[in-house]
Chain A
Amino acid sequence: MSLYPRGGYGILLTDFHMPEMDGFQLTAAIRAHEAKTGDHLPIVALTADALPGTEKLCLDSGMDGYLSKPIDSQALTAMLEKFLPQAAALRRRPETILPPAEMKPAPPDINPEVLDLGRLRETFGSVSGDALSFLAGFVADVPNMIAAIGAGLDARDRGQARHAAHALKGAARSTGANRLGELASDIQDRLDDDDLETAGFLYEALAGTYDELRVALDLLRASVSEKR
């Protein structure tokens, strides 16, 4: 919200659940301000929990649409074309971004359930440079995210544990760490059902999922440096 008054933005992509001010409160604040100016900033929600009623919820709260996480590049493009047609001319085609040498990386032997490279390739254009630094940053943060779930479970604070599981689910799925995302999703579901016991058991399996993800990252790094 602190960026909004500066103006000049064409679209707002916002998460639903955030500390301090969530996506709904942010939308309400912006729409209230626009009631005076007559502007309309397109607002699109990003959510990892798309349910049958999600679209209505977004529209009712003054948003223009939503995208489910992990965000599909094509869906994002469609959304941008719908609300930001004037931006089409500014887009760089992915082909022009990629140096031709990096177009066809030899795929290392990584189980796509552990790490789906397709997702990184789709998001970054190739699995090198930016994609690798992003992935390394995510993998380095996974132990903290797991610990946050553990802290919530230890304190029997269902809300805190759920929040942490939800964050891990969204980030893991968006990154292509599918097993990790699946497990975090199951933990979130069990917590929604107030089943701390099963959630606690599933939590124990996170460590193994993190280990295999780290191995996948190492393999990927090795395969990329080999090519240089």
Chain B
Amino acid sequence: MTLAPNFDYAKIKVVVIEDEPHTRQLIRSQLLQLGLREIEEASNGKDGMLTVVRIRPHIVFCDIHMDTMNGMEFLKTLRSLKVESVRNTPVIFLTADAQRDTVVLAKEHAINGYLVKPVFGRPA
């Protein structure tokens, strides 16, 4: 599976925030399939924030329903963080929650993408 052939996916830094370990592993495998190499994982929003601040990723894939800090709180915290280089990091929600209210709320907090699980590399 290749997307843009001249694009160097290996240079993209990604953070995956997902509390369910099998799902997390699957997302990692899918990203590896796409040619991404620098993938860091976190199992809740809080650890996700710390990882984002540490590695300054190009993009974040994030679950919504998680303990400690859920995806929506993560997004809110990130967008209000007073560190310019981090605040506008693109975030894509990966969630089984397709309720209209959740989508609207995500949009209010400037989400960049919203994918409903299960997610496949190309249209199923």
Interface residues of A (CB under 8 A from B): 111, 113, 179, 182-183, 186, 190, 193, 195, 198, 201-202, 204-205, 208-209, 212
Whether the Cβ atoms of A205 and B82 lie closer than 8 Å is no
Contacts A/B (CB < 8 Å), 27 sampled: A111-B38, A113-B55, A179-B55, A182-B56, A183-B53, A183-B54, A186-B53, A186-B83, A190-B82, A190-B83, A193-B82, A195-B82, A198-B81, A198-B82, A198-B83, A201-B49, A201-B53, A201-B81, A202-B83, A204-B50, A205-B50, A205-B51, A205-B54, A208-B50, A208-B51, A208-B54, A212-B54
| Secondary structure class of chain B's binding surface, majority of residues | helix
Closest A residue to B51 using CB positions? A208
Q: Is the CB of B54 within 8 A of A179?
A: yes
A75 vs B89: C-alpha distance when bound (angstroms):
35
B53 touches A202 (CB 8 A): yes
Ranked nearest first, the 8 interchain pairs of A and B with the lowest CB-CB distance are A205-B53, A205-B50, A198-B82, A205-B54, A208-B54, A186-B83, A209-B54, A195-B82
Inter-chain contact total with CB atoms closer than 8 Å: 33
Per-residue 0/1 for B57-88: is the Cβ within 8 Å of any A Cβ (1 yes, 0 no)?
A: 00000000000000000000000011101000
Nearest A-chain residue to B82, judged by Cβ = A198
How far apart are the CA atoms of A208 and B56 in the complex, in Å? Answer: 13
Q: Chain B residues with Cβ under 8 A from A202's Cβ?
A: 53, 83
Min Cβ gap B86→A in Å is 8
The closest CB in chain B to the CB of A111 belongs to B38
* B85: A residues at CB distance < 8 A: 186
Chain A residues contacting B50 (CB-CB under 8 Å) are 204-205, 208
**Which chain A positions have C-beta within 8 A of B38?**
111
- Complex interface: chain B residues within 8 A of A111 (CB): 38
Please, which residues of chain B bring their CB within 8 A of the CB of A193? Answer: 82
Residue of A whose beta carbon sits closest to that of B50 = A205
What's the nearest-Cβ distance from chain A to residue B22, in Å? 24
A140 CB → nearest B CB, Å: 20
**Docked CA distance A208–B51 (Å):** 8
A202, closest chain B residue (CB): B53
Chain B, Cβ-Cβ closest to A186: B83
Of B38, B49, B83, B85, the most chain A CB neighbours within 10 A belong to B83
A171 to chain B, nearest CB (A): 18
- Which residue of chain B has its CB nearest to the CB of A208? B54
Q: Taking CB as reference atom, which chain B residue is nearest A182?
A: B56
Residue of B with least CB distance to A197: B82
Name which of B49, B51, B54 has the most chain A CB atoms within 10 A of its CB.
B54
Query: Which residues of B have CB within 8 Å of A208?
Result: 50-51, 54
Complex Cα distance A198/B53, Å?
Answer: 11
User: What's the Cα separation between A77 and B82 when bound, in Å?
Assistant: 38
B contact residues around A204 at 8 Å (CB): 50
CA distance A190 to B53 in the complex (A): 14
A residues within 8 A CB of B53? 183, 186, 201-202, 205
Chain B min CB distance to A193 (Å): 7
C-alpha spacing A198/B55, complex, angstroms:
17
Could you tell me which residues of chain B, from 14 to 55, have a CB within 8 Å of some CB in chain A?
A: 38, 49-51, 53-55
